[in-house]
Amino acid sequence: MKSTTKHTGQLGETIALEYLLREGFSLLEKNWRHRKAEIDLILQEGGTIVFIEVKTLQSDAHGSPESNITRRKLDLMWDAAGAYMDESGHMGEIRFDFISVILKSPDSYKVVHNRDAFWPGN
Length of the chain: 122
What percentage of the chain reaches a pLDDT higher than 90?
A: 55
pLDDT of 113 strictly over 60? yes
Query: Residue 63: pLDDT band by 50, 70, 90 thresholds?
Result: low
pLDDT, residue 58, reads: 79
Query: Residue 64: pLDDT band by 50, 70, 90 thresholds?
Result: low
CB 11 within 8 A of CB 103: yes
Beta strands in the chain (DSSP E): 26-34, 37-45, 48-57, 94-105, 108-114
Report the 10 Å Cβ neighbour count for 92: 10
- Domain positions in the chain are 3-114
Q: Residue 8 and residue 100: Cα distance in Å, rounded?
A: 12
Select the more confidently predicted residue: 71 or 2.
71
**What mean pLDDT is reported for the chain?**
87
Query: What's the distance, CA 46 to chain centroid?
Result: 18
The CATH architecture one would assign to domain 3-114 is 3-Layer(aba) Sandwich (3.40)
pLDDT of 97 strictly over 90? yes
Q: Is 87 helix (H, G, I), strand (E, B) or coil?
A: helix
pLDDT, residue 61, reads: 63
Give Cβ neighbours of residue 109 (< 8 Å, ≥ 6 apart). 15, 101, 102, 103
